[in-house]
Amino acid sequence: MFSPIFRIMKLIGIQNPPTSLKHRLGFLGPGLILSASIVGSGELIATTVLGAKAGFVTFWVILLSCLVKVAVQLEFGKNAILSGRPLMEEFNHFEGPRLGKANWAVWSVFALTLFKILQLGGMLGGASIILSLVFPPIPVAVWVVLSGLSLSLFVYKNKYFLIEKTATVLVFGFTIFTLVSLVALFFTPFAFSWEEVHSGLEFKLPREAIWVAIGAFGITGVASDEIIAYTYWCQEKGYSKYVGPNDGSEAWRNRADGWLRVMYLDSFLAMLVYTIVTAAFYLLGAAVLHGEESIPDGNDLILALAGIYTETLGTGAKLGYLAGGFFALYSSVFATLAYWSRLLPDVFAQFGWIKASKDRGKWVAILAWALPAIWALTFLFVKLPGVMIISGGVVGSVLLWVVVWAAIKFRAKNRSLKLLTGPWTEAFFWVSVAAILAVSVYGLSKLW
């Protein structure tokens, strides 16, 4: 017979954490959605361009970019699990100026998110351009509309498990096709050696590659949007519910420690996935395009690499590369739609425009249809996917300041709990903060 305490725990969703690696793997998922969001235009285009311009020598920059920034993400995830509150509600408790019911941090996230509409339109357009290359009879405009509709169908039901499973398929898709494209190089004149790869691990940075290396560092790996989004996925997966409210007991501390370890495993496995794929895109650029007098830009770069595969390995190899590019771009737009449809109702609740508990589901459905329509119209009006995507990088550099400031606040608030803390985690966190701030300063400097 179950004890009253056990019954209460089950009623409110509290669970003891899994203790074995096998059982922990069964509770992963938020990192897969994060990977779907991360591997997109930056990895497909910016990383490839860096490899093309610098060759193999700056390979270490890409690896460092993917590895070092995860500490700030972990701090956001940790706070989401321990607090159990939506992120914008947490932001609204920060000190500082207020406008209406919300403070500067909430308004900043809202305004900067709206500025990124141009970027999402470019990414949706980029995925549609790839589809038009595979199926030439169908115009790009038609693919934009169809892609937007498919995104809405995935998200409007507001089902976390559907988003996680779809993200898993997309991550599997771009990982497989990208790695197959890389392996295919070894059957062409562009094959490279381990010595060339090793030369990129010697921490050298040629003067002529400094600026493009810093730019690639800023746009690859986990960025401001993904850090914010991760909090929603951790909570919807159930980590916070499983921990339960902090009652000061040793049982709560043990649960919190165990579920935080699951979240850490989820984050690091996601980092492994997007690091491997990002590295593959870099090596493609270094092997195929380094030494070329002119390097194509934006979607022309995708077409150029696809053309090289056609010349050396045939049409099938071209289609494989294009499939990887489509999965990368489409997965980013898909994960962003799922994230925005949760973030914006959270923001609206802090503004006092809606009641979070009552209206959230309705607004997720509305935004799931409205946002892809806005992105599609933006692309059809501007029709410059490269410029549109780059604009989002500038906005992201500004948003990083808010994210880092919040991460510092979260770490200070949760440090007293002494959960998964120590000198190494402290050092890793501050190295991550310094790296992100340095890159965001560079991003803003590009405005002038």
Q: Mind listing the pLDDT tens digit for each residue in 178-193?
A: 888 888 888 888 888 9
Q: Per-domain residue ranges for the chain?
A: 25-99+158-325+391-445
Place of tokens 């691990």: 201
Look at residues 350, 330, 379 and name the one whose alpha carbon lies nearest to residue 122.
379
pLDDT at position 5 is 41
pLDDT at position 234 is 96
What is the pTM (predicted TM-score) of this model?
Answer: 0.89
> Does the pLDDT value for residue 9 go beyond 60?
no
| pLDDT bucket at 401, cuts 50 / 70 / 90 | confident
Average pLDDT over residues 309-334: 80
pLDDT at position 295 is 64
Average pLDDT over residues 375-392: 82
pLDDT at position 73 is 93
pLDDT at position 7 is 43
On average, the pLDDT of the chain sits at 85
pLDDT at position 11 is 42
| pLDDT bucket at 6, cuts 50 / 70 / 90 | very low
Average pLDDT over residues 57-72: 85
**Which range, of 68-82, 116-130, 208-222, averages the lowest pLDDT?**
208-222
> Does the pLDDT value for residue 71 go beyond 60?
yes
